[in-house]
């Protein structure tokens, strides 16, 4: 079985650019989710039982438009690549053009080297972006200290303000996602997620409302 995998991050983004020339494929899977979500945990990957079809040897060929469709995290991409290679599944990346197995079913070591280089460059670029952001914040702190002064001493952030600020965390909790996944998607610590859960329980006792209501500030009017 030949499968083409496509992914875009949001409903507003179009997958048409990725799914050109997909005639001859048995399945075309389109997921609309963050690349930080591991490949095997994406909604339509689960719905179509792609992992099971890979494990039982039904799927022999997986193709993607670009390597970041398999994941944004270097380790997760390399892990999926190695897993599929070990199971004899041919993985073809169109842009740039490389694959894990050649026409004879043997490992393509040049492609593995290229994958490692591309993944390292991607991680380095993300690190540089974060470094530049922090440098910008430090400069702004010197010019306008009030913009990044943090919370004033002896003050406490209200529960309402805290939960409203972390509405995306609440949204992912509602979907049953794991803390480690939410931490990556929302760029918050596991301690913050635990605090969100505790505050949600407190709000349930006080207001007797559901998680979904907590994302709307007006719900707290009493």
Residue 148 pLDDT: 52
Residue 60 pLDDT: 93
- Structural domains of the chain, count: 2
Give yes or no: residues 111 and 190 share one domain. no
Residue 189 inside a domain? The answer is: yes
Domain enclosing residue 57, as ranges: 2-119
Residues (pLDDT < 50) of the chain are: 206-222
Q: Indicate the residue among 119, 137, 163 that finishes a domain.
A: 119
Give yes or no: residues 112 and 10 share one domain. yes
Residue 16 inside a domain? The answer is: yes
Question: How far lies 60's CA from each of 3, 28, 70, 71, in Å?
Answer: 8, 14, 16, 20
Q: What are phi and psi of 93, to 5 degrees?
A: -105, 130
Residue 64 inside a domain? The answer is: yes
Residue 27 inside a domain? The answer is: yes
Give yes or no: residues 215 and 162 share one domain. yes
Closest to 118 (Cα-Cα) out of 74, 64, 71: 74
Q: Indicate the residue among 119, 145, 165 that finishes a domain.
A: 119
Q: How many CA atoms lie within 13 A of 152 on its CB side?
A: 2
Give yes or no: residues 36 and 94 share one domain. yes
Residue 214 pLDDT: 41
- Which residues, in sequence order, are CB contacts of 202 under 8 Å at separation 6+? 159
Question: Which pLDDT tens digit goes with each residue over 71-127?
Answer: 777 777 888 888 999 999 999 988 888 888 888 888 888 877 877 776 677 667 667
CATH number of domain containing 111: 3.40.50.1390
Q: Indicate the residue among 71, 102, 119 that finishes a domain.
A: 119
Token reading at 147 = 């913009």
What angle is formed at CA 120 by the lines to CA 31 and CA 37, rounded to 5 degrees?
25
Residue 30 inside a domain? The answer is: yes
Give yes or no: residues 23 and 107 share one domain. yes
Q: What are phi and psi of 49, to 5 degrees?
A: 55, 40
- Which residues, in sequence order, are CB contacts of 2 under 8 Å at separation 6+? 24, 25, 26, 27, 59, 60, 61, 62, 63
Give yes or no: residues 92 and 161 share one domain. no
Question: Is pTM, for the whole model, over 0.85?
Answer: no
Grouping H, G, I as helix, E, B as strand and the rest as coil, residue 117 is helix
Give yes or no: residues 86 and 171 share one domain. no
Residue 99 inside a domain? The answer is: yes
Pairing between β-strand 90-93 and β-strand 98-99 as defined by DSSP bridges: antiparallel
């Amino acid at each position: 079985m030949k499968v083409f995998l496509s992914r875009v991050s949001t409903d507003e983004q179009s997958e048409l650019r990725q799914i050109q020339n997909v005639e001859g494929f048995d399945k075309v899977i389109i997921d609309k989710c963050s690349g930080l979500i591991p490949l095997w945990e994406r909604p339509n990957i689960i719905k179509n039982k792609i992992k099971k079809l890979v494990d039982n040897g039904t799927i022999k060929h997986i193709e993607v438009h670009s390597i970041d469709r398999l994941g944004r995290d270097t380790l997760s991409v390399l892990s999926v690549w190695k897993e599929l290679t070990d199971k004899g599944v041919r993985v073809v990346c169109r842009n740039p053009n490389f694959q894990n197995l050649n026409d004879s079913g043997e490992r393509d070591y040049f492609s593995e080297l290229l994958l490692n280089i591309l993944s390292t460059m991607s991680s380095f670029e993300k690190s540089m972006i974060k470094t530049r952001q922090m440098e910008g914040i430090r400069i702004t702190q010197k010019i306008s200290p009030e913009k990044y002064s943090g919370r004033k001493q002896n003050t406490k952030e209200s529960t309402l303000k805290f939960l409203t600020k972390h509405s995306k965390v609440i949204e992912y909790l509602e979907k049953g996602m794991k803390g480690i996944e939410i931490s990556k998607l929302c760029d918050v610590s596991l301690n913050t997620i635990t605090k969100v859960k505790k505050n949600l329980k407190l709000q349930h006792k006080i207001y007797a409302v559901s998680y979904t209501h907590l994302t709307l500030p007006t719900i707290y009017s009493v």
